[in-house]
Amino acid sequence: MNSDKFEKVAGNGLISRRHLLGMGLGGMSLAATGSLLGADAGLQIPGWSKTPGPGPSAYGAPSAHTQLQRVAGAPNPLYPGGGVSRTPLQHMQGIITPNSLHFERHHAGIPDIDPAGHQLVINGLVRQPLVFSYENLLKYPMVSKVYFIECSGNGNSNTVGAAGGSAQSIHGLVSCSEWTGVPLSTLLDEAGVLPEARWVAAVGADAASMGRSVPIEKAVDDVLVALFQNGEPVRPEQGYPMRLFVPGWEGNISVKWLTQLKLLNGPAQFRDETSKYTDPLPDRSARQFTFPMETKSLITSPSGEMTLPRAGIYKITGLAWSGSGSIRGVEVSADGGRTWADALLESEQWDKALTRFSIPWEWNGGDAILQSRAIDSAGNVQLTREAVIADRGTDAFYHNPGIQSWAVSSQGDVSSVAV
């Protein structure tokens, strides 16, 4: 049973997002403070306040008391250098992902590219084929925007119903950065796109020659040739010295180590858009070119593999995003979807960026199922897991935006469940 002292806004302990005062949040120790601090006299001075510490450095690092790391999937000996690593969403706040923690997906590892020897070619159905050096591209006007990028395979184990896993292991293939680059439209204008060109085929300089095709309408809309990520040059694992960045679309199409853009009258039908990154359907047909990432949200804390130490007040927080616009709102349920309450949006709601949400929750020590549900600026509501499976079956490896359910046991153990 929940206590009566807070305004409840939905079942099983959800408290108004506007409720702040007097919550004694999570065991905040108020008892001894009156006498301890009344005259400042009882303040204990810790050892680290008594002697000077080390001075400035050239390139900083996190505190040794934090342990935020990407976790890599098991390597596959058939694909040297291939694989993924996932962002530790459960330990993060805000919406920006530090570059060192940005998720990775490589098809043949990370090429060690010297930018002085790298070229970007634009050819095919253009008036004038062009070749750009890294130094050339730096001279163009650029655009800086905060965008998420998500692998289309993210959340797959939620859809197929594998039990267990953490926010990181199930959903850690999404990150969010400030991306700075030259609008692709600028470069295409320089080359002069011929009227019959309908697709742009992008190829990377990795040993997989990763290739994807972008429809011309998107290519001239908001696509960037990205050179900087959160202020510094794009990291090697993100495509140094340059990558395509296709806002809101499945991550694989933002081709890393970009070296060629060829204008074609149809899609190139690259290996990575035929054998992969298509979605087999229950009737054995396949959906191809499923580009925009759907409306999705995720509670990052409490989340799978965490343990709640005792009954009491907790902060539920998480992330929401949509490839079709900005986040209009997020609802949270603590009773498996029976009742819902509006979450607080802690960050701005930028177009095609992550949005941070939270809501206070009083856990009464009983069973609970925590869920979140996002709605975007276009009115798209996040699908349930059941709706995703009904539409795509359980063999569709890609595009899994279904609602994540975290079960809280009476022991406080939090685990991923399929409901």
Residue 361 corresponds to which tokens in the numbers above?
Answer: 């929750």
Q: How far is CA 86 from the centre of its chain?
A: 10
Judged by beta carbon, residue 243 or residue 392, the one nearer its own copies is 243
Contacts of 117 (CB under 8 A, 6+ apart): none
Rounded to 5, what percent of the chain is helix, strand, coil?
Answer: 15, 30, 50
- Residue from 307, 304, 317 nearest 163 by CA: 304
Nearer Cβ to its own copies (72/419): 72
Instruction: Tell me the closest approach of the beta carbon of residue 327 to its own copies, in angstroms.
Output: 13
Report if residue 3 touches its own copies, rule: CB under 8 A. no
Instruction: Single out the segment in contact with its own copies by CB under 8 A; choices: 47-55, 163-171, 283-291, 411-419.
Output: 47-55
User: With contact defined as beta carbons under 8 Å apart, do 187 and 133 qualify?
Assistant: no
- Asked if 292 contacts 249 with a C-beta cutoff of 8 angstroms, the reply is yes
SS3 category, 91: helix
Residue closer to its own copies by CB (options 334, 396) is 334
Please, which residues have CB within 8 angstroms of residue 229's CB and are 6 or more apart in sequence? 99, 102, 177, 178, 179, 180, 235, 238
Q: CB-wise, 95 or 244, nearer to its own copies?
A: 95
Scan residues 204-243 and list those touching its own copies (CB under 8 A). 205-209, 227-228, 230-233, 235-237, 240-241
User: For residues 17 and 392, which CB has a smaller minimum distance to its own copies in the complex?
Assistant: 17
- Residues of span 18-37 touching its own copies by CB under 8 A: 20-22, 25-30, 32-34, 36-37
Find tokens 């098809």 and name the residue: 107
Residue 326, classified by CB atoms within 10 Å of its CB into exposed (0-12), middle (13-18) or buried (19+), is middle
* Structure-token pair, residue 293: 């990432």
Which residues within the stretch 253-272 sit at the binding site for its own copies (CB under 8 A)? Answer: 259-260, 262
Question: Which residues inside 329-358 make contact with its own copies, applying CB under 8 A?
Answer: 344, 346-348, 356, 358
Determine if 392 is a binding residue for its own copies (CB under 8 A): no
Q: Cβ–Cβ contacts within 10 Å for residue 384, how many?
A: 17
Q: Distance (Å, rounded) from C-alpha 419 to C-alpha 407?
A: 10
139 vs 2, 122, 136, 181, 318, CA distance in Å?
A: 61, 17, 6, 11, 39
Closest distance to its own copies from the beta carbon of 351 (Å) = 11
Q: Residues 130-159: x/- map of binding to its own copies (CB under 8 A)?
A: xxxx-xx-xxxxxxxx--------------
- Residue 326 in the binding site for its own copies (CB under 8 A): no
Sole window of 84-92, 153-161, 263-271, 278-286 interacting with its own copies (rule: CB under 8 A) = 84-92
Position 65 contacts its own copies (CB under 8 A): yes
Least distance (Å) from its own copies to the CB of residue 336?
23
Q: Which of residues 178-197 bind its own copies (CB under 8 A)?
A: 178-180, 186, 189-190
- Contacts with its own copies by CB under 8 A: the residue count is 131
Of the candidates 328, 412, 340, 345, which has an alpha carbon nearest to the alpha carbon of residue 371? 340
Q: Is 77 in the site for its own copies (CB under 8 A)?
A: no
Between 84 and 253, CB nearer to its own copies: 84
C-alpha dist (Å) from residue 327 to 74, 75, 297: 34, 35, 10
How far is residue 317's CA from residue 302's CA, in Å, rounded to a whole number?
Answer: 8
Which region among 2-10, 125-133, 147-155, 393-401 touches its own copies (by CB under 8 A)? Answer: 125-133
Quote the least distance from Cβ 44 to its own copies, whole Å. Answer: 8
Of these, 85, 278, 300, 380, which contacts its own copies (CB under 8 A)?
85
Scanning 267-317, the segments in alpha helix (DSSP H) are none
Q: Which stretch binds its own copies (CB under 8 A): 66-74, 154-162, 289-297, 324-332?
A: 66-74
Q: Which lies closer to its own copies via its Cβ, residue 27 or residue 282?
A: 27
As measured in angstroms, the least distance from the Cβ of 86 to its own copies is 9
Establish if 80 lies at the interface with its own copies (CB under 8 A): yes
Asked whether position 313 contacts its own copies by CB under 8 A, the answer is yes
Check residue 251 for interaction with its own copies (CB under 8 A). Answer: no
Give the separation between CA 357 and CA 362, rounded to whole angstroms: 17
Map the footprint of its own copies across residues 90-119, applying CB under 8 A.
Answer: 91-102, 104, 106, 108-115, 117-118
Hey, which residues does 357 pair with through a beta bridge? Answer: 318, 345
Region near its own copies per CB under 8 A, out of 153-161, 269-277, 310-318, 385-393: 310-318
Cα torsion for 191, 247, 393, 403, to the nearest 10°? 180
